[in-house]
Amino acid sequence: MSRRFLLAVLIPITLAISFATCFEFVPPVDAPPDYENSTEYTDPTWEFPAHSEPAPPLPDFRPVVAQVMPRVVSVTTESFVSGFFGSRTEYGAGSGIIIDDAGYIVTNDHVVENAQSIYVELHDDRVFEADIVGTDPISDLAVIKIDADDLIYAHWGDSSSLSVGEWVLAIGNALGEGVRATQGIVSRLNVSLNVEGNVLYGLVETTAAINPGNSGGPLVNMAGEVIGITSIKIVATGVEGTGFAISSEEAELIIPSLIRYGRMTYPWLGVGLYTVDPALAAAGGLSVEYGALIVELVANSPAHGAGLRVDDIIIRFGGQDIRNVADLVKAVRRSEIGEDIEVVFVRGEDTRTTPVQLIERPSP
């Protein structure tokens, strides 16, 4: 290596070292204080707070699973589809709940919809062909029936007593591979969800894993009681643990009618509605911050005959306070066809009352 090249390299290094030693680093004025050696907030005597009793352990799910599984069935459907290349058979998988010893089984309407043949497999591996007793697309519920002996039926629970955070199990024919159980908690109550244009009300949201094939199976509490019928799962990128079950309270209104008459008849008011909240009230200059706002009125409907108008806000129905649309839908469904109901509504600044006589909901 030449001396000239060596000097060319060493001189910049020497200058850089000299420059660095001539200046002392001064931190910026707004630099954060150095907490590493601070003792201002330390406490040499600190210990973890004492607990009077140990944290409760997780529940044992095994007794619940053992109790409920014999009451859950796998449902397989066959549908014949015609296409450009001819007809083919499509198979579907779902679940069901035995609800009495006569062979009635509740499931989802979408499980048996368009099925030409329905087969039910019991926990003891017996397989029976099932007949449809009644279906209701509005609630997504259906009842089928098998001719079998020695059936063990489920215990019906009260979903109105549920609390957010309560442990639940979803049991069903997940992925069509046999009945299995998943655990989770109740994450929301009284959920309304629009499913392909049909709004389901009073749903129980749960973190229990719900997969294709679970539809129609039970959501049960830790007493093994059916508090919901699994129906829907939100499927989207980044969404996990968001499944829904039709509450046992809602299902209990529908199932007897399906068994007795083969269909569900709904009382009908004849209005389109929107929930009033403080934001909507402020934006629209409304005089109340709650209730069900009429945004559509069907001609010759009970509501039209009672003198209700678009922009009226229903705040009481049959003695029940109405805070939102779900409250009004629930109140109407719990009424009787032909029954005269007192409706309290707000029009502008005035609160008024009118009687309305409900009729049977027209066919779509």
- The 10s digit of each residue's pLDDT in 242-284 is 789 999 999 999 999 999 999 999 999 999 999 999 999 999 9
The pLDDT value given to residue 42: 82
How many domains does one find in the chain? 2
Domain annotation covers residue 316: yes
Predicted local confidence at residue 196, as pLDDT: 78
| Residue whose entry in the numeric block shows the structure tokens 């204080």 | 33
Mean pLDDT of 142-158: 95
Residue type, 138: I
Which pLDDT score, from 0 to 100, does residue 29 have? 55
Residues 255 and 309 in one domain: no
* Residues with catalytic function: 110, 140, 215
Do 193 and 234 fall within a single domain?
A: yes
User: For residue 52, is it within any domain?
Assistant: no
CA–CA distance, 102 with 108 (Å, rounded to integer): 19
Which pLDDT score is estimated for 5? 40
Query: Using CB atoms within 10 A of its CB, is residue 361 exposed (0-12), middle (13-18) or buried (19+)?
Result: middle
Q: How far is CA 39 from the centre of its chain?
A: 51
- Residue 19 is predicted with a pLDDT of 42
Do 332 and 246 lie in a common domain? no
Return the bridge partners of 170, or none.
182, 219
Percent of the chain clearing pLDDT 70 (strictly above): 87
Domain boundary among 264, 281, 297: 264
DSSP secondary structure of 288-345: -SSSEEEEEE-TTSHHHHTT--TT-EEEEETTEE--SHHHHHHHHHTS-TT-EEEEEE
Range of the domain at 101: 59-81+90-264
Domain end point (choices 245, 264, 283): 264
pLDDT tens per residue, range 60-82:
999 999 999 999 999 999 998 87
Say yes or no to pLDDT of 48 above 90. Answer: no
Dihedral (Cα; 353, 357, 360, 364), 10-degree rounding: -50
Position 311 in a domain:
yes
**40 domain residue, yes or no:** no
Question: Alpha-carbon distance 186 to 56, whole Å?
Answer: 18
Where residue 108 sits, what CATH number does that domain have?
2.40.10.120
Q: Is residue 9 assigned to a domain?
A: no
Of the listed ranges 1-10, 193-202, 289-298, 314-323, the one predicted with least confidence = 1-10
- Give the model's confidence band at 40: pLDDT under 50 very low, under 70 low, under 90 confident, else very high: confident
Shared domain for 301 and 331, answered yes or no, is yes
Instruction: Give backbone dihedrals phi and psi of 283, rounded to 5 degrees, phi first.
Output: -70, -35
pLDDT, one tens digit per residue, over 180-229 is 999 999 999 999 888 877 888 889 999 999 888 999 999 999 999 999 99
Above 60 in pLDDT, residue 140? yes
Q: What is the CATH number of the domain that holds 311?
A: 2.30.42.10
Tally the residues of the chain. Answer: 364
Residues 146 and 234 in one domain: yes
* Domain's final residue, options 229, 244, 264: 264
Together in a domain, 233 and 325 = no
Looking at the fold, whether 94 and 163 belong to one and the same domain comes out as yes
Q: Has residue 21 been placed in a domain?
A: no
